[in-house]
Amino acid sequence: MTVLSPTRQQAVAPEPEPRHRRPSPAPYLLLVPTIAILLLALGYPLAWQFWTSAQKFGLAQQFGRPPQFVGMANYVQLFTDPQTWAVVGRSIAFCLVNAAITVVLGVLIALLMNAVGTLPRLTLQVAMLLAWAMPVIASMTVWIWLFDWHRGVINWLLTAAGLDFTNHNWLEQPLSFYFVATVIVVWMSVPFVAFSVYAGLTQISEEVMEAAALDGASPRQRFFAIVLPMIRPVLMIVALLQVIWDLRVFAQIKMLQDAGAPTASTDLLGTYIYRLGVGASDFGMASALSIFVLVLTVALSFFYVLHLMKEDA
Amino acid sequence: MTRTHRRRIRPGRLVASVIAILVALAWVFPVYWMLNSSLLPNTVLTSTTPRFWPWGGSLDNFAAVFAEGTFWPALGMSLAITLTTVAFCLLFAFLAALAISRFRFRGRASFVLAVLFIQMLPAEGLFIAQYKLMSSLNLLNSVVGVSILYIAAVVPFTIWMLRGFVAGVPMELEEAAMVDGLSRTQAFFRITFPLLAPGLVASGVYAFLQAWNEFTVALVILQKEEYRTLPLWLRGFVQASASRATDWGQVMAASTLVAVPVIIFFLIVQGRLTSGLVAGAVKG
Amino acid sequence: MKKMLSVVALATASALALGGCASGTTSSPSASAAQNITLWLAGGDTPDTLRDYLKTTYNAKTGGTLTIEEQSWGDLVTKLTTALPDANNTPDVVEVGNTQSPTFTNVGAFSDISDMYSELGGDKLLPSFVEVGKVDGKNYTLPYYFGSRYMFYRKDIWKAAGVEVPTTLDAFNAAVKTITEKNPKKIKDFSGFFLGGQDWRNGISWIFANGGDLATVDNGTWTSTLSSENSVKGLTQLQELYQSASHAPKTMTDQSVYLYLNDSDVLTGSDNSKTKTSLAAATVMAPGWAHWSIGDLAKKDGKEVREWNDATFGVFALPGNDGKPAPVFAGGSNIGISAASKNQAGARELLKIIFSPEYQQMLGKNGLGPANSDYTSSLGDDQFAKALIESASNSRLTPAAPGWATVEASGKLEEFFQKVAEGGDVATLAKQYDDILTPMLNGK
């Protein structure tokens, strides 16, 4: 975090006219509750995680045996294990694909909301809200059911449509497993993106669009010349959030694996941390991996964040 | 900001409407499937031919779920935790958003970055430390303990969201009102606050959903049965027992019950939701 | 924060020590005042009547209150990991899965109850379960109940395929293969014996039945023995079954297999013929309680339920090749006292109630195999009880290695069995997974 100290930040983005010229204690007072709760809730767990990642810490240590300090040994073991890199690679791919599909679909649906009359728009919005409101455990149960090999609706429909999908097991092959996971994750995440972008779209003035149309701009040109720049700030933020969320996707993958899948070849970072920690009781390794994931997310989003900061200042 | 009514009839309009309805149907299907299944008996649900309509179904599954007698306490627990989280989260985030959008001060950029990066920490490895922390503070099995962890988890994103809204309300408006004889507090509540409402609603919805659906922290911190939240309660139905078959009809009925309060909450705030959601970010 | 925690920990520790001295719980159990204790039960297996019995009896005997908390199996390890070491919040008595017991006993999570062993039943207690609760000859956990798996089969299909209920394992292997080949009802992907590819809990029976073992211990060091000659022999037989008798998904575990034994609805065949069935298997291996979910569709009080029909359905214990039943995996759980508990005296009283003749018989009457062999007869003498008792008589447990819970949680066994089911070379795979499992078994 020192990389982006205030001075550096000023160098990157010219400081706008400050509203309060003299240093005032007000902003610091306003930040006190937030900083206090973050320190209270995350301070110790974060410190514990850093400290534990440098220790041999298993179940015996949790039950009181003194842990052994091993320095970087956990990290070395982690990075020399090809399995780690396989998981990292899969997670990055899964995250980028899912975030991209989610954002594109979200934008398309928002455009659709903007293009249709009140009734279809409300129908679409209610459907999105209902999907968004479903508790994760509930929606996962339903989805696993829909994709069930023997009595799933999806196989039934595909078979009824003339394709032979009787007893097709969707979770057996990793690629097919990720396809199912993507369908579910995208289904869950699109409503948020669609509503955010739609909110942005409603702020584009009708007159500008009509003037552009009169000037002979095609819908495509209008989208790229007017709409996209207007909704860019929203897109930036939702895309960043999708990347962050999809990189550490856990519940969906874990529950799909529990429904019967080859676990080792379908693990992503979230489930891998879980397997090392809760599963193998190797809390030192699990902590090391967690910290690596933090670093990885920061790295993945670094330029993006820099850009956001520039616009923010 | 309200939508102007368009009277023009575009050729593509009908096609777009049809597509919109189809997308809506596709999206709502799993929700429908949950409802449909909650009305059907388990024997029907375990057959290979799906039954698409709940004809001949009953509310038996719901009756059975309620008969357990555990729904209401869990609902109470979930509501207490979720509302506490939403209230404090909005308050803290609003103050912080005020600080970073109205003031330029030393450490501001670091704070904004820290807030962003905190969201990137994976939660799966933290549970032992969270348990130890709450145990040492004597806050296990309490609304306060879980709420503290939830607020800390949700507040960073909420700050991001509110920041844009606060920046969007010009200081000059407030100052003008004060010239007209209002006190600073009055000016704030009469002028600024109404303009912030959509942003607060959008952030509130986010905080609500996060707290309502959270599972892992609740599992570790709320160890006693009488303090279970709804996700833990629902999990109890899915994993009914090692020696009894899971009753899927009941699971679906229980899932529906967990979703209903969220839907009610959405209906209450929906008007403001669509207009307010991330509109702040646009202004940012 | 760290500092604050250690201060708190110190304070707690001294409070603990003081408390210990004052009430003298550890030194003289009988002199204790009424203690309010908590019992964690795993899953909903213990019926309500038994829970009520424990509560009232505990209260009558000690004057204290017993609180029972139910923990779901899937989250049990997470909760034990956090709560058991925490003296202020630990449950006092805990039920753990028999295969999870070694991991927790080895790290000192449970109190030594060797002195009560004879009083609680001694040699009458299920030996294999007692073994997984032992470290260095001392008893830390004892059996709570057992339940073995046996075979559920469709009499009509077996008859149509012209095969008899087998009396040896070889005959069983051949019979289910024949059924699959003949497929009397001409159902797509029909399984003579339905066995999920990842279902190692049922699959290991074939390793055991051929004299193989999952792991052996020598001087406290565990070695995974999937690649021993007998294990490979069993695994090869199993692979043959996977390839020629079962069309269950290769990623399936042992969940809900009973579904595939039922007739339920109209199914359209490839030639557009309609058969009234969703039947997918002629035989499944499942715990005894599955019989509540197997049967004909019937209306009862206006609800559709499954009703067992002796004409169509039957049960038998998987036979071995030596005249005895095959050694199948013994399901069930152990019970122990948390070492961190401040209510050792009360906890010991509760154990006495659990191992009393009354409670042991109540377990049996509810279909749970009682820990004490004197009360096995309380299970009754219907076909299910008979099959349970018969299959349990020769049942086996997973190794009592300190790292066994790690092995289970790692998902490596599921992975290995899936690869065997998919037709990989058994000897090579076994060797490969032995190398992975051996360090895990020793808790490294």
Which residues make beta-bridge pairs with C319? C325
* C26 domain-assigned: no
A162 has a pLDDT exceeding 70: yes
**Do the beta carbons of residue A237 and residue B281 sit within 8 Å?**
yes
Is the CB of residue C78 less than 8 Å away from at least one CB of chain B? yes
Instruction: Report the share of chain C in percent with pLDDT over 90.
Output: 59
Q: What is the pLDDT of residue B200?
A: 85
Strand C93-97 versus strand C134-135 pairing type:
unpaired
Mark yes or no for CB contact C251/A169 under 8 Å: yes
d(CA B239, CA B243): 10
* C126 domain-assigned: yes
Strand C330-337 versus strand C93-97 pairing type:
antiparallel
- Tens digits of per-residue pLDDT, B40-76? 887 778 777 788 888 878 898 999 889 888 999 999 9
* C6 domain-assigned: no
* A7 domain-assigned: no
Q: What is the pLDDT of residue A18?
A: 47
B173 has a pLDDT exceeding 80: no
Q: Mean pLDDT highest for which of A10-14, B29-33, C402-406?
A: B29-33
Q: Please check whether residues C234 and C291 belong to one and the same domain.
A: yes
Residues of chain C contacting residue A59, judged by C-beta atoms under 8 Å apart: 81, 103-104, 107, 443
* C23 domain-assigned: no
- Residue B272: pLDDT band (50, 70, 90) is low
Of the candidates B121, B129, B275, the beta carbon closest to that of A199 is on B275
Mark yes or no for CB contact A260/C253 under 8 Å: yes
The predicted model gives C402-413 an average pLDDT of 84
Of the candidates B138, B224, B244, the beta carbon closest to that of C44 is on B244
Of the candidates A9, A187, A234, the beta carbon closest to that of B281 is on A234
Q: Please check whether residues C87 and C182 belong to one and the same domain.
A: no
Q: What is the pLDDT of residue A10?
A: 36
* C405 domain-assigned: yes
Per-chain mean pLDDT for chain C: 86
Q: Please check whether residues C264 and C217 belong to one and the same domain.
A: yes
Mark yes or no for CB contact A62/C188 under 8 Å: no
Using CA coordinates, name the residue in chain A closest to B129.
A45
- Residue C22: pLDDT band (50, 70, 90) is very low
What is the residue-wise DSSP string for C209-257?
HTT--SEEEETTEEEE-TTSHHHHHHHHHHHHHHHHT--S-TT--STTG
Of the candidates A42, A187, A269, the beta carbon closest to that of B152 is on A42
Mark yes or no for CB contact A203/B258 under 8 Å: no
Using CA coordinates, name the residue in chain A closest to C247.
A167
C409 has a pLDDT exceeding 90: no
- Residue B227: pLDDT band (50, 70, 90) is very high
- Tens digits of per-residue pLDDT, A208-244? 878 888 888 888 888 888 888 888 877 888 888 899 8
Q: Which of C1, C10, C37, C72 to mutate to test the interface with B (most CBs of B within 10 A)?
A: C72
Is the CB of residue B212 less than 8 Å away from at least one CB of chain A? yes
* C177 domain-assigned: yes
The predicted model gives B246-269 an average pLDDT of 87
C3 has a pLDDT exceeding 70: no
Task: Give the structural domain span for C369.
Answer: 34-148+330-393
Q: Please check whether residues C122 and C258 belong to one and the same domain.
A: no
**Do the beta carbons of residue C332 and residue C127 sit within 8 Å?**
no
A·C CB contacts under 8 A? 89
Angle formed at CA A216 by CA A215 and CA A221, multiple of 5 degrees: 105
- Tens digits of per-residue pLDDT, C98-123? 888 998 999 999 999 999 999 999 99
Q: What is the pLDDT of residue C302?
A: 65
Domain count along chain C:
2
* A241 domain-assigned: yes
Residues of chain B contacting residue C306, judged by C-beta atoms under 8 Å apart: 43
B·C CB contacts under 8 A? 96
Mark yes or no for CB contact C249/A60 under 8 Å: no
Give pairs for A258-262: CB < 8 Å, separation 24+.
A258/C74, A259/A144, A259/A171, A260/A171, A260/C196, A260/C198, A260/C249, A260/C251, A260/C252, A260/C253, A260/C255, A261/A171, A261/A172, A261/A177, A261/C251, A262/A172, A262/A174, A262/A177, A262/C251, A262/C415, A262/C418
Weakest-pLDDT range from A88-92, B150-154, C147-151: C147-151
d(CA B169, CA B197): 11
* CB neighbour class for C305 (10 Å; exposed up to 12, middle 13-18, buried from 19): middle
Q: Please check whether residues C179 and C248 belong to one and the same domain.
A: yes
* A206 domain-assigned: yes
**Is the sign of the CA dihedral B105, B106, B107, B112 positive or negative?**
positive
Mark yes or no for CB contact B243/C86 under 8 Å: no
Is the CB of residue B268 less than 8 Å away from at least one CB of chain A? no
- Tens digits of per-residue pLDDT, C72-90? 888 888 899 999 999 999 9
Please name which of C373, C358, C176 lies closest in space to residue C284, comparing C-alpha atoms. Answer: C176
- Tens digits of per-residue pLDDT, C226-245? 999 999 999 999 999 999 99
Residues of chain C contacting residue A164, judged by C-beta atoms under 8 Å apart: 270
Weakest-pLDDT range from A189-193, C243-247, C292-296: C292-296
- Residue B243: pLDDT band (50, 70, 90) is low
Q: How far is B174 from chain A (nearest CA, A)?
A: 14
Task: Give the structural domain span for A174.
Answer: 75-312
* A114 domain-assigned: yes
How many CB atoms are located within 10 Å of the residue A20 CB? 12
Please name which of C250, A219, C339 lies closest in space to residue B16, comparing C-alpha atoms. Answer: A219
- Residue C444: pLDDT band (50, 70, 90) is low
* A295 domain-assigned: yes
Mark yes or no for CB contact C84/A63 under 8 Å: yes
Amino acid at A124: L
Q: Please check whether residues C437 and C354 belong to one and the same domain.
A: no
* B contact residues 14-73, partner A, Cβ 8 Å cutoff: 16-17, 19-21, 23-25, 27-28, 30-31, 33-34, 37, 46-50
Of the candidates A60, A150, A171, the beta carbon closest to that of C251 is on A171
* A50 domain-assigned: no
Q: Please check whether residues C286 and C337 belong to one and the same domain.
A: no
A44 has a pLDDT exceeding 90: yes
- Tens digits of per-residue pLDDT, B68-83? 889 999 999 999 999 9
Q: What does pTM read for this prediction?
A: 0.85
* A68 domain-assigned: no
* B contact residues 33-62, partner C, Cβ 8 Å cutoff: 41-44, 46-49, 60
Is the CB of residue A166 less than 8 Å away from at least one CB of chain C? yes
Q: How far is B246 from chain A (nearest CA, A)?
A: 12
Q: Which of A2, A22, A30, A55 to mutate to test the interface with B (most CBs of B within 10 A)?
A: A30
The predicted model gives C398-414 an average pLDDT of 85
- Tens digits of per-residue pLDDT, A288-310? 999 999 999 888 888 877 887 77
Q: What is the pLDDT of residue C264?
A: 65
Per-chain mean pLDDT for chain A: 85
Here the CATH number for the domain that contains residue A175 is 1.10.3720.10
d(CA C39, CA A268): 36
* SS3 (DSSP) at C324: coil
Mark yes or no for CB contact A263/C414 under 8 Å: yes
Is the CB of residue A165 less than 8 Å away from at least one CB of chain B? no
* A297 domain-assigned: yes
- Tens digits of per-residue pLDDT, C177-232? 999 999 988 888 899 999 999 999 999 999 999 999 999 999 889 999 999 999 99
Weakest-pLDDT range from A34-43, A210-219, C44-53: A210-219
The predicted model gives A145-166 an average pLDDT of 87
Residues of chain A contacting residue B282, judged by C-beta atoms under 8 Å apart: 199-200, 203, 230-231, 233-234
Per-state percent for chain B, helix, strand, coil, to nearest 5: 75, 0, 25
- Helix and strand tally (H, E) in chain B? 14, 0
Task: Provide residues of C within 8 Å CB-CB of chain A.
Answer: 1-2, 5, 74, 77-78, 81, 84-85, 103-104, 106-109, 188-189, 196, 198, 247, 249-253, 255, 259-260, 270, 278, 280, 405-406, 409-412, 414-415, 418, 440, 443
- Residue C341: pLDDT band (50, 70, 90) is very high
Q: What is the pLDDT of residue C359?
A: 96
Of the candidates A131, A202, A309, the beta carbon closest to that of B27 is on A131
* C160 domain-assigned: yes
Here the CATH number for the domain that contains residue C225 is 3.40.190.10
Is the CB of residue C136 less than 8 Å away from at least one CB of chain B? no
* C11 domain-assigned: no
Q: Please check whether residues C378 and C317 belong to one and the same domain.
A: no
Please name which of C233, C264, C424 lies closest in space to residue B46, comparing C-alpha atoms. Answer: C264
Using CA coordinates, name the residue in chain B closest to A113.
B20
Q: How far is B21 from chain A (nearest CA, A)?
A: 6
Domain count along chain A:
1
The predicted model gives C22-36 an average pLDDT of 54
Mark yes or no for CB contact A279/C410 under 8 Å: yes
Instruction: Please report all neighbours of B, defined by 3+ CB atom pairs within 8 A.
Output: A, C
